[in-house]
């Protein structure tokens, strides 16, 4: 997936219009539309601002990697990121259930 598709996906995931995202970044209202339609590319400063706003790496935005964030010098695997995204959507009770189940699976794995 390339930059314009990633940007659009992240913007829509965060329920932002192109104008709202442009306002957040201090850009003209048409700037995001131009990025998403590949008419223009962001400057390095704007690329960094986008990555910070969406909390993803520049490499992810540019389509170099499918991993959202580098953590401790390592890049998270997409499966881990996808699992984390799902986990964040769970209620507190369901999150506790998932944690307990993961602990059970570790116990089972270590004791077989």
- Within 13 A of 42's CA, how many CA atoms are on the CB side? 25
- Domain ranges for the chain, please list them: 3-67, 77-110
Task: In whole angstroms, give the CA distance from residue 57 to residue 70.
Answer: 7
On average, the pLDDT of the chain sits at 87
Contacts of 76 (CB under 8 A, 6+ apart): 67, 68, 69, 70, 84
Q: What is the pLDDT of residues 57-78, one digit of tens each?
A: 888 899 887 666 555 555 566 7
Would you state the pLDDT for residue 73? 52
Domain covering 3-67: architecture: Orthogonal Bundle (1.10)
Model-wide pTM > 0.75: no
């Amino acid at each position: 997936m390339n930059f314009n598709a990633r940007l659009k996906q992240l913007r829509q995931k965060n329920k932002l219009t192109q104008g709202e995202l442009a306002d957040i970044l201090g850009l003209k209202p048409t700037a995001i539309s131009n990025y998403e339609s590949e008419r223009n590319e962001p400057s390095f400063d704007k690329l960094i601002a986008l990555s910070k706003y969406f909390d993803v790496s520049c490499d992810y935005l540019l389509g170099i990697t499918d991993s959202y964030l580098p953590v401790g010098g390592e890049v998270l695997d997409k499966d881990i990121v996808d699992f984390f995204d799902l986990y964040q959507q769970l209620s507190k009770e369901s999150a506790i259930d998932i944690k307990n189940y993961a602990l059970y699976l570790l116990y089972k794995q270590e004791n077989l």
